[in-house]
Amino acid sequence: MRTTLPEIGKKYGLDYEIKDFPDSTAVLLAVEQGGLVIGNTTVQHLVRAMSEGIPVKWIAGWGGGYNVLVAHKDLGVKPEDGGGLKSLVDARKKQSKPLTIGVPTGSLQHAKLLIYLKSLSIDPDKDVQITNIPFPNHPRALQAGEVDMAMTLSGFGALAIFKGDAYLYMHLYGDKFGKQEVGFIVANRLIQSNPALVQKIVQSHVDAMNLFVDKPDKQVEYEKKYSRFPEPVVEMNERKFLHYHYRTNIEDVKKMARELHELWWAKQDYSGKVESYIDLSFLSKASGLSVAELSTW
């Protein structure tokens, strides 16, 4: 979007300035406080908005595939072998050398990691050691042997794999993990005060995404124009991990709301409020698809 949206926006009289934020919490607060007109955030933070009564609406999807669990090259557990991982965790616990996993605490990746570990009957608090490490530091931590695994953003996972310090244990995407991870939000007051502007914003996003959705070669081409990752890493990330669409799989958002409550990250199950925080009417007009068609992916 960094390479496609600014030019597309001019067609609609929009001058886009793309800003980087340290995390999705900062994006959510900036949208609420008026520092951003539109923000890119995670389904986890949409649920947080429900929990805290932050008046925003999810107006379009972006995609998923960002969650990868990578293992140190010498870990010795086969990819996607949950039984093997559980056995290793149990053995290391008996040796008083718990398996260490790096992840930024409180992130979407942290939540996904906890959910996966619990599905294997691994207690995240007692059986393993979860270490708070920022995503950019994951490749170095794996190289240095500071962690056994890292639950990371796909780009940094791809970098660690490319450097030969790690291998892909699991891509937590699709099936039981869900596909919807990221989308776009605006403040409710913008929808109420200037719906015409919201329509232009959504239309420009649809036009920009149509240039690369379901077109891996284009994904790679546009990403290479600004990415700091080596080209083979961009290729791996865009072709193997990331998937984009402006649709929103609402059932995935509801599932995340239930899971966050099960983790006690949310004080109650907000799945019943999900649809009141999503407005796909602008997207329907921009794409020519019905809201029902846009509500699954």
Closest C-alpha among 240, 110, 250 to residue 183: 250
**pLDDT(151) > 90:** yes
Q: How many CB atoms lie within 10 A of CB 26?
A: 17
Contact indicator for 169, 142 with CB cutoff of 8 Å: no
Contact indicator for 294, 283 with CB cutoff of 8 Å: yes
DSSP state of 103: -
Closest C-alpha among 183, 190, 180, 265 to residue 32: 190
Give the integer Cα–Cα distance in Å for 242 and 249. 16
Q: Do domains 5-64+179-294 and 67-172 have the same CATH topology?
A: yes
Helix (H) or strand (E) holding 19: none
End-to-end, the C-alpha distance of the chain in Å comes to: 20
Residue range 15-50, pLDDT digits in tens: 999 998 988 889 999 999 999 999 999 999 999 999
Type of residue at 6: P
Residue range 86-128, pLDDT digits in tens: 999 999 999 999 999 999 999 999 999 999 999 999 999 999 9
Please give the average per-residue pLDDT across 249-260, as a whole number. Answer: 97
Output the pLDDT for position 140.
98
User: Can you give the residue ranges of every domain in the chain?
Assistant: 5-64+179-294, 67-172
State pTM to two decimals.
0.94
The alpha helices in the chain, defined as continuous H runs, are 5-11, 24-33, 43-52, 82-94, 108-119, 138-143, 154-162, 188-193, 195-209, 216-224, 231-236, 250-262, 281-287, 291-294
Task: Spell out the CATH class of 67-172.
Answer: alpha beta
Contact indicator for 12, 203 with CB cutoff of 8 Å: yes
Q: What order do you get walking across the sheet with 56-64 strand by strand?
A: 39-42, 182-187, 56-64, 243-244
Find all residues with CB under 8 Å of 49, minimum gap 6, and list them: 28, 56, 185, 277
Q: Is residue 244 classed as helix, strand or coil in its secondary structure?
A: strand
**pLDDT(175) > 90:** no
Banded model confidence at residue 1, pLDDT cuts 50, 70, 90: confident
Helix (H) or strand (E) holding 229: none
Asked if CATH classification 1.10.3720.10 holds for the domain at 5-64+179-294, the reply, yes or no, is no
